[in-house]
Chain A
Amino acid sequence: MKVLLVDDEEKFVSRLAERLEIRGFEADWTTTSDGALSKAENEEYDIAVLDVKMPRLSGIDLKKGLEKLVPKMKFIFVSGHGSEEDYDIGIREGAFYLTKPFKIETLVERIKEALNL
């Protein structure tokens, strides 16, 4: 399973990727939306974990860009906001939504659920 992680906090996203790799996932990460689009052009990811609030392009807009490149890709949104509005956006976009900080087991469960594993 190939997972793409996108968050502007490098420490967060790189360590999360390493922990997912320990659990058997192929995890790739980037801190920018441009980087995410560029990676998706060259690799076929099964699922992307996107920070809702990022510079330049929001997670919601990035999802739209990634969907054009990889129509089958699934999505999970993460955010430090934890507002009902963010949660509603996640649901409306047909994606899971997690509030930071979260347990990695919860993320793994959501990934498996999204990919019907």
Chain B
Amino acid sequence: MEKEIGRICAEGFSFFGMTNRLISHEVKNILAIISETSGLMNELLELSEKSMPLEPDRLRSLSESMIEDVQRANQIIRNMNTFAHSVDDFIREVDIRKTVCLMMDVCRLDSALRKTELNLADGDDCAIYTSPLFLENLLFHVINFCLRHPGPEKKIRILLDSNESRTRISLTGLASHIAGAFPTKKETLLAEALSAEIILDADKGRLHAEFPERIEGSPIQNLLPID
């Protein structure tokens, strides 16, 4: 049991670190864009003081672009803040839709995964009583896997479906007959900790993750913060 808890915690730390790396990398990219845009605006103004005419539309466009980039960075920081609060309570009620949206955003921080379209279908909100951090961790790996193995249309669609006893997250649009096993040991460990089940239907190009309304008998229920 202790060994299992140790492995789960190590996975949680690793996921936390990786997410922070992805976020800081993306924020630095946006800062670099803002830096180049403001530098260019400054140089266009300097050139206009010499001889080159200043085009107001160009300046307006650059200024609007900077506002967009600031908003993009702000959304990433807001997501980072939400993610940081995942460890406030080891187990609590978690909004599945919000968590899926958050992990979709985190996965899309990896530029290699942006070429595949990713959509979450409309539907009712649903909540389960579970570990927010390890749920995010598992969803990240599930979404990441699907984005790396899209079908020919390169569109992954996520659907949520819940009843009183369980919530199912389905991802469709995967390539059929995907080579390589999924879930791996890592996702299996996380799924077991969350009393969840991962089913890859490779023939039909879809993957299901099924969660109980409340985790029972999991070692992570014994994880308690120091008072």
Contact = CB atoms under 8 A, between A and B. Distances in A.
Interface string A44-58: 000000000111100
A101 B43 contact: no
Q: Would you call the interface of chain A mostly helix, strand, loop, or mixed?
A: loop
Interface in B27-78: 27-29, 31-37, 39-40, 43, 47, 65, 69
A94 interface: no
| Chain B interface size range | 20 to 34
B35 A11 contact: no
Contacts of B112: 55-56
Q: Would you call the interface of chain B mostly helix, strand, loop, or mixed?
A: helix
A18 B114 CA distance: 26
Given A80-B25, A80-B26, A9 B32 contact: yes
Contacts of A82: 28
Interface of A: 8-9, 11-12, 15-16, 18-19, 22, 53-56, 80-82, 99-102, 104
Given A18-B40, A56-B112, A100-B29, 11 more contacts: A8-B111, A11-B37, A16-B36, A53-B25, A80-B24, A82-B28, A100-B28, A101-B32, A101-B35, A101-B36, A104-B39
7 contacts: A9-B32, A15-B40, A19-B39, A19-B40, A53-B111, A55-B112, A82-B28
Interface of B: 21, 24-29, 31-37, 39-40, 43, 47, 65, 69, 111-112, 114-115
